[in-house]
Structure 1
């Protein structure tokens, strides 16, 4: 909504998001990200040479501690000040006690699954290698599911995948659902997956795993089926074919399977690693910033604590030439009606900015 209002008034909008490439990157795109990205359906010149040396990517260490502190601070602030913003709607409950309970449950489940699923890594790395399809699940409240796919929920996605797999996959192939680690304390799909597998007579071919290493699972998989998770990029990196069921910036004919899901089980295709590398380099140059929202990069002199490509630095740096000093700005209402007079303080501030 905010983007559409701004664009109606010819205001350029830039959106931050977690990186399309994980870890070590954040995304910055004009007009929107993910399903709203201008890259969706856009022909790209992937042969364009990049001026950026992407070999020296820095790794912000121990980010989780900072992220947890920011999350706790945010929830406490929301709880204390929610009475002032009664119309605000958040995608998760903002009760710090409830959220704390979820994270405590997450820790308990992590310990339990580590013990109960300790034999599964060997199974997938040896006995079932190249005999299973991986389905990484997204967090239950991910807006990319409801806004940029046909699915109304993760449960909806699971149901479609199990049904298609049971009807069209080879009899000796398996299906592996991997739970999102950040959603461990919020959801548990064990009952649903077991029920669906039983109803479709594939209970001995469907697995539901939690804290197994994602790279190892990707390396041994025949293919990856997902909605629009950034795991798709990781899958391509490991040469594992990808089928997306939602809108994703990497869902392109040169990168992912364009067949329907029913056909993908038998003909997943192959990954063009050179096309993937070219696309990855393009993203790094155009809209990926080396760094983290929660911690400065080590040995970085920029004010933001991030490492910017030359092109992005020029695009997002302030230059007086971009300001038309002949037209001081006026305040506008959301509906777009000019106020009767220009606010003098704003004009004064504008003059100071333009003279720098």
Structure 2
């Protein structure tokens, strides 16, 4: 089990803030209680409350400005010695992190796995730009030999949880009058975006597959891959210099047009979870035309990422975990934001302008040790919408991988 979890299990009273939409924090609370740890939960909206069925629940209905003083008092009264959340960049969680630092309370963050699939991340203090992991510690580690169990993670479970979460949050908004969703979208806007997604997938599926075949068969080793991220991902807003994805696209195409060899191509890969929210096809086309490289720049979504990586010349990304996959395939990788894996032996430290001309491959031996380091320190064999072997073996009875809404909990007054 990861060192971060081992440390968390040494605490006496843990408070859970906001988690993933769905029942993961409910199951996690059961796990902590099985280890004789007291668990409290703070809900910020009705969706949080619906999926959590344990006792010691506290609904925060105040303003964001008043949260830090309220949490200070709560920690003191309840004798909290550890705070756990999902995502360290949500407004309430940012305040909690600063407060924990001040009070000497441990702060742990769940996030999607640095290494995928079949891993999730639990890290103390924060992730990526907030990480305090010291890569000097990996020198004594051996090569990675991890064999995670299959977690049966399912996308439809996320969809069902999200629909229920947003509906409940909207229906009982009057109980949490000051709550504003951290992504800045209303339930209706989210619903419309997810309704657009399958239609856009249908329209783009065959053109994207054709583009993939052409790249593999006709441009093998002649294209750079650009992995785009979700437009409002906290890794963009907090751990990069960019205001939005369009600014990043513009910088990349501008640099490519001025410095990449004429025979090289550039391929933008859209993030599938952002399909309904954003479509950069016209943006990429217009920017490429402005920099006079329209014939060398391509864009798609439904393409097999590992296949594209294997046949690429290298990858550019802001700080996506796909960068680690690129390094795994021993491809030159350029990071434009702040990422936990952005070290000299793994990523290309040259300016982007020079990256196109002389891309540097990662050191595979160092990568294997770095991977082992991440697993031992931060990675848990599990899934937010599937099974979590690290959790189940400590429970007297295994929790189902896809609990019914009745089992997931009910809305508390």
TM over 0.5: yes
Distance 1:51 1:194, change over 3 A: closer
- Partner in structure 1 of residue 215 of structure 2: 124
Contact kept? 1:174, 1:206, Cα under 8 Å? yes
The SS at the match of 2:139 is coil
- Partner in structure 1 of residue 356 of structure 2: 265
- Partner in structure 2 of residue 45 of structure 1: 137
1:245 counterpart = 2:336:
yes
1:298 is displaced (CA, Å) by: 6.3
1:79-135 residue CA offsets vs partner (Å, 9 max, x unmatched): 122223233232335544432322121001111111233321221112111101100
- Give 1:66's match in structure 2, choosing from 151, 157, 164: 157
CA distance in 1, matches of 2:287, 2:364: 35
Contact kept? 1:297, 1:305, Cα under 8 Å? no
1:35 counterpart = 2:126:
no
Contact kept? 1:79, 1:94, Cα under 8 Å? no
Root mean square deviation of aligned Cα: 2.1
Distance 1:305 1:188, change over 3 A: farther
1:212 is displaced (CA, Å) by: 0.4
1:278 is displaced (CA, Å) by: 0.8
1:79-94 equivalent positions in 2, closer than 5 A: 79-92=170-183
The SS at the match of 1:221 is coil
1:71 is displaced (CA, Å) by: 1.3
- Partner in structure 2 of residue 337 of structure 1: none
1:16 counterpart = 2:110:
yes
1:6 is displaced (CA, Å) by: 1.6
Give the length in aligned residue pairs: 303
- Partner in structure 2 of residue 199 of structure 1: 290
Q: What's the TM-score once normalised by structure 1's chain length?
A: 0.81
1:142 is displaced (CA, Å) by: 0.5
CA distance in 1, matches of 2:334, 2:216: 22
CA distance in 2, matches of 1:115, 1:298: 37
1:69 is displaced (CA, Å) by: 2.0
- Partner in structure 1 of residue 227 of structure 2: 136
1:238-269 residue CA offsets vs partner (Å, 9 max, x unmatched): 11110000000000011110101011000111
Instruction: Please say which structure displays the higher CA radius of gyration.
Output: 1
Distance 1:131 1:53, change over 3 A: closer
1:199-233 residue CA offsets vs partner (Å, 9 max, x unmatched): 11000000011100000111111110010000000
CA distance in 1, matches of 2:398, 2:144: 18
Q: Structure 1: which 5+ residue stretches go unaligned?
A: 307-356
- Partner in structure 2 of residue 3 of structure 1: 97
Contact kept? 1:59, 1:297, Cα under 8 Å? no
Contact kept? 1:75, 1:94, Cα under 8 Å? no
Q: What's the TM-score once normalised by structure 2's chain length?
A: 0.70
1:333-352 residue CA offsets vs partner (Å, 9 max, x unmatched): xxxxxxxxxxxxxxxxxxxx
Q: Structure 2: which 5+ residue stretches go unaligned?
A: 1-94, 400-413
1:54 counterpart = 2:146:
yes
1:156 counterpart = 2:250:
no
Distance 1:253 1:74, change over 3 A: same
CA distance in 1, matches of 2:263, 2:221: 11
Contact kept? 2:144, 2:371, Cα under 8 Å? no
